[in-house]
Amino acid sequence: MASPSDRYATLNQRLADIAQSGRLRSLSPLTMTGPTTGIRSGQAVTVFCSNDYLGLSWHPDVVAAWQGRGAGSARLISGDRPAHHALEEALTAHYGRPATLLSSGYHANLALLTTLLQRGDRVASDALNHASIIDGIRLSRADKVILPHSTPGDIPADTTLAVTEGLFSMDGDIPTLSDWQGSHWLMVDEAHAFGVLGPGGQGAAAAQGIEPDFIVGTFGKAIGAYGSFVVGPPSLRPLLISAGRAFIFTTGLPEPAAAAALAGLRCANDGLREKLTENVVRFRSGLSALGLTALGDAHIVPVVLGAETMAVARSLLSAGYYAAGIRPPTVAPGAERIRFTLSAAHTAAQIDGLLDALNDAC
Ligand SMILES: Cc1ncc(COP(=O)(O)O)c(C=O)c1O
């Protein structure tokens, strides 16, 4: 039997290895004082790395909606609440197809992929798909083929499901979704596009006039709340409820989160989306004027700075602008970047201030 002193030796060794490779991460609380401002380590900062793209987490209707209790149980036992059904009905009306709530977006990808796929199926997945898609595929036991980012080429004929994102979280680009269509099913994770892109904020697929078989959306980003949903054909909802392990064996979404998500959905309007676009144009053209190249097409604005990334992020922070540096393993070595995210709630002065700070830092 391991002695008390070395009982956790393997964990300590793993931590030491992570630290040795420069990948040790730590938490640092950020007290938000407004939709784009906060206090971090005693310093006032303007935040350019939140996914609250429409500033809705501070909208008075969303703030007021955080009311109710924890569900206390899985929905199939005693945790099913009117707030869940109200939100599902609103989403079903939004998409014209049945929607089902899950906890986080991470959870939704696990639930959907493990319910749709079985051993022997083949899934074609974009090389830059989010960790939750990768983990869902692993759990499903389906065979996977990884396709080059955004250029899938010929998708193998025996593919059951192709899966991609509507707006990529690290590269900020929007794929041409018709390239992913075929005789197989198409699943699009709209985590970063839902609420922002497409008619009524339905996402990147709707913006391109495409109806994927399955959509994942989250309320933790543009909607300013918490929770997630999946949309699909009429068989999907009963299948999730009867056979979706990640739906069945977990506590229902807390009522306050469901109510806040419904309020956020109602508050996400074209005016906010236009304001966000205005801010994106201002920031992206300011970057070009500084001679900095940004990746992507929309409100996620990654600027690849390689080895300079963390030094520039620190310099921005000392000037009062908080934008996270993204390092391996999240991105490939050499592709380190600062991932700026814009919100409709940013002011022109905040964006211009960030550009000035970037000019000094670079
Ligand atoms: C593409 C994608 N899908 C899913 C998620 C997970 O969503 P949530 O934060 O609601 O768990 C994220 C989170 O960043 C994401 O980027």
**Which of 188, 221, 226, 300 should be mutated for ligand 1, with most atoms under 8 A from CB?**
221
82 in the same domain as 184? yes
Active site residue 359: no
Distance from residue 105's CA to the centre of ligand 1 (Å): 5
Instruction: Map tokens 């079903």 to a residue.
Output: 92
Residues 228 and 130: their CA atoms lie apart, in Å, by: 15
Residues 213 and 295 in one domain: no
Final residue belonging to a domain, choices 246, 267, 288: 267
75 and 171 both lie in a single domain: yes
Q: Is residue 19 in a domain?
A: no
Residue 42 main-chain phi, psi, to 5 deg = 80, 0
Q: How far is the CA of 44 from the centre of ligand 1 (A)?
A: 27
Q: Cα–Cα distance between 253 and 146 in angstroms, integer?
A: 32
Same domain? 239 vs 105 = yes
308 carries an active-site annotation? no
Claim to verify: residue 93 and residue 211 sit in the same structural domain:
yes
- If you measure from the C-alpha of residue 191 to the centroid of ligand 1, how many angstroms do you get, rounded to a whole number? 6
Residue 188's contacts (CB-CB under 8 Å, 6 or more residues apart) are 163, 164, 165, 166, 177, 180, 203, 204, 205, 212, 214, 215, 216
Residue with tokens 């918490």: 226
Per-residue pLDDT reduced to its tens digit, 293-325: 999 989 999 999 999 999 999 999 999 999 999
What DSSP string runs through 303-352?
A: EE-GGGHHHHHHHHHHTTEE--EE-TTTS-TT--EEEEE--TT--HHHHH
Catalytic residue among 189, 190, 213, 336: 189
Which residue among 209, 244, 267 closes a domain? 267
Round to whole Å and give the CA distance between 358 and 362. Answer: 6
* Ligand 1 atom with least separation from CA of 228: 10
Active site residue 318: no
State the residue range of the domain holding 81.
Answer: 61-267
- 203-215 pLDDT, tens digit each: 999 999 999 999 9
**Has residue 2 got a pLDDT over 70?**
no
The reply to whether 3 belongs to the active site is no
Atom of ligand 1 nearest to the CA of 218: 10
Which neighbouring-strand residues pair with 102?
228
Atom of ligand 1 nearest to the CA of 51: 14
Tell me which of 107, 184, 192, 275 is the catalytic residue. Answer: 192
Q: Is the pLDDT of residue 94 over 90?
A: yes
- Asked if 109 is an active-site residue, the reply is no
CATH of the domain at 81: 3.40.640.10
Split at pLDDT 50, 70, 90, the class of 4 is low
Catalytic residue among 140, 150, 169, 228: 169
Atom 3 of ligand 1, residue of closest alpha carbon = 191
Residues 211 and 332 grouped into a single domain: no
Q: Could you tell me the distance, in angstroms and rounded to a whole number, from the CA of residue 99 to the centre of ligand 1?
A: 18
Give the lowest-confidence range in 81-90, 134-143, 270-279, 323-332.
Answer: 323-332
Closest residue (by CA) to atom 9 of ligand 1?
A: 105
Q: Which position among 165, 213, 255, 336 bears the catalytic label?
A: 165
Say what the pTM is.
0.96
Same domain flag for 41 and 113: no
Q: What is the CATH number of the domain that holds 45?
A: 3.90.1150.10
pLDDT (tens digit, 9 = 90+) per residue, 118-177? 999 999 999 999 999 999 999 999 999 999 998 999 999 999 999 999 999 989 999 999
Is beta strand 122-126 parallel, antiparallel or unpaired with respect to 143-147?
parallel
Q: How many domains does the chain have?
A: 2
Pocket of ligand 1 (CB under 6 A): 104-106, 109, 130, 132, 165, 169, 189, 191-192, 218, 220, 228
Same domain? 242 vs 354? no
Residues 171 and 253 in one domain: yes
71 pLDDT exceeds 90?
A: yes
Token couple for 304 = 């690849």
Residues 40 and 109 placed together within one structural domain of the fold: no
Residue of the CA atom closest to atom 16 of ligand 1: 169
Is position 192 annotated as part of the catalytic site? yes
Q: Is residue 15 part of a domain?
A: no
pLDDT band per the 50, 70, 90 thresholds, residue 1:
low
How far is residue 36's CA from residue 323's CA, in Å, rounded to a whole number?
11
CA 169 / ligand 1 centre spacing (Å): 8
Active site (annotated) includes residue 169 = yes
239 closest CA partner among 74, 140, 141, 115: 115
Q: What letter does residue 6 receive in the DSSP assignment?
A: G
DSSP annotation string for 125-187: EETT--HHHHHHHHHHT-EEEEE-TT---S--TT-SEEEEESS-TTT-----GGGG-SSSEEE
